[in-house]
Amino acid sequence: MKYKYCLLALLWPVTTCFSQFPLSIRPLKIGDTVPDVEINLLHGPVLKSNLSSYKGQLIILDFWATWCTSCLHGFPKLDSLQRKFKNQLQVLLVNTKSTGDDKKKAEAFFNKRGKQFSLPSVLEDTVLDNLFVHTMLPHYVWIKDGKVKAVTGSGEVTAENITAVLNNLPVTLRMKNDKMDYDRHKPLFVGGNNILSGSVLTGYTEGLPSGSVMDRDDKGLVSRLCISNTSLLQMFRQVYKATLFPADHMIIYVREPWRLSPPGERDNWKYSNTYCYEIKVPPVSQDSIYKLARQDLLRFFPYRVWRRQDTLVITDR
């Protein structure tokens, strides 16, 4: 799909101004004027539009992908907010080429869910992707009066915050700040590569994705395990080799189970209850590095964890 860069033919008031599209695209920051991008929509009353078409409305861009489970979980809330605020708000789902999705995948995604969601979705985008650079999904960009108001995670997208922004009331939104230079194969917390052995455990680290990586040599031996912004339950499942166990093969008997996995939305919960762990050792087997990781986690956290055949058991210590 070829995007056309459109120039504004109308002069908008200063308070609601989308700029003419620049000759070169540069990432935008809070307070910048947003170019008037032409967008192609999968469904809705119109299939081609411009950001300036939503003059006078608060625009929230929701960058998503068909493979992003968190994105899917957020759609019902966004749909409900759109219905609540009606013409004061326009939520635009944005599916970019960089996700690996295309029109066929997006159509199949929505067709499978019928008319569950009524939000329009931008397809095969490259322009907005370059204006609002990010590494993690979902990614929300708030645009008001033609300017970038905020860039947030899903936890900030609430009726209270939207009401405050619409009425120009003071509001503190936690900004989402992805680490664009993050390399999963470089030490997470140390600036150089001269560390021969050691392990580090921290709380949530802004800008890092949730996931894990192992560095292996050509013999398959592991010298480094890095797990970032992950719940304690998922960490235990990984290092006890229980990631494929279904939910009914886990016995969790603890006083505060919400510390292990989120009871509801993960976005705000993650700030206090996800962790980053990294261990670097001379090359060892995967089983050996998992054993070292288990020892580290059990030294710090107040739990007893073990496998009973094909069941993972977690109790208070």
Q: What is the pLDDT of residue 55?
A: 87
Q: What is the pLDDT of residue 53?
A: 87
pTM of the model: 0.64
Average pLDDT over residues 220-232: 94
Q: What is the pLDDT of residue 273?
A: 95
Most confident of 3-17, 46-60, 198-212, 272-286: 272-286
Say which residues have a Cβ less than 8 Å from residue 176's Cβ, sequence separation at least 6. 134, 136, 139, 140, 151, 152, 153
CATH topology of domain 38-166: Glutaredoxin (3.40.30)
Average pLDDT over residues 169-186: 78
Can you spell out the DSSP letters for 40-109?
A: EBSSSS-SEEEGGGGTTSEEEEEEE-TT-HHHHHHHHHHHHHHHHHGGGEEEEEEEEGGGT--HHHHHHH
Residue 186 has pLDDT above 60, yes or no: yes
Residue 10 has pLDDT above 60, yes or no: no
Adjacent-strand bridge partners of 211: 228
pLDDT band at 2 (very low <50, low <70, confident <90, very high): very low
Average pLDDT over residues 48-65: 90
Q: What are 258-280's pLDDT values in tens digits?
A: 999 888 777 789 999 999 999 99
User: Cβ(153)–Cβ(176) under 8 Å?
Assistant: yes
User: Cβ(201)–Cβ(296) under 8 Å?
Assistant: yes
Helix H or strand E segment including 162 = helix 159-166
pLDDT band at 23 (very low <50, low <70, confident <90, very high): very low
* Per-domain boundaries in the chain: 38-166, 198-316
Helix H or strand E segment including 242 = none
Average pLDDT over residues 136-150: 93
Average pLDDT over residues 157-185: 85
Query: pLDDT over 70 for what percent of the chain?
Result: 84
pLDDT band at 190 (very low <50, low <70, confident <90, very high): low
pLDDT band at 209 (very low <50, low <70, confident <90, very high): confident
Q: What is the pLDDT of residue 264?
A: 77
How many CA within 13 A on the CB side of residue 68?
24
Say which residues have a Cβ less than 8 Å from residue 274's Cβ, sequence separation at least 6. 203, 204, 210, 229, 230, 231, 232
Which of left, alpha, beta for 140 (phi over 0: left; psi -120 to 50: alpha)?
beta
Residue 1 has pLDDT above 50, yes or no: no
Q: What is the mean pLDDT of the chain?
A: 84
Query: Reduced to 3 states, what is the DSSP secondary structure of residue 238?
Result: helix
Q: What is the pLDDT of residue 17?
A: 47
User: Cβ(293)–Cβ(277) under 8 Å?
Assistant: yes
Q: Which of 206, 204, 186, 183 is nearest to 276 (CA)?
A: 204
Residue 170 CA: distances (Å) to CA of 142, 164, 253, 305: 15, 7, 43, 46
> Which residue carries 């947003």 as its tokens?
34
Average pLDDT over residues 131-151: 92
Average pLDDT over residues 241-254: 88
Average pLDDT over residues 3-10: 28
Q: What is the pLDDT of residue 281?
A: 92
Average pLDDT over residues 230-254: 91
Strand 222-231, strand 198-203: pairing: unpaired
d(CA 86, CA 254): 44
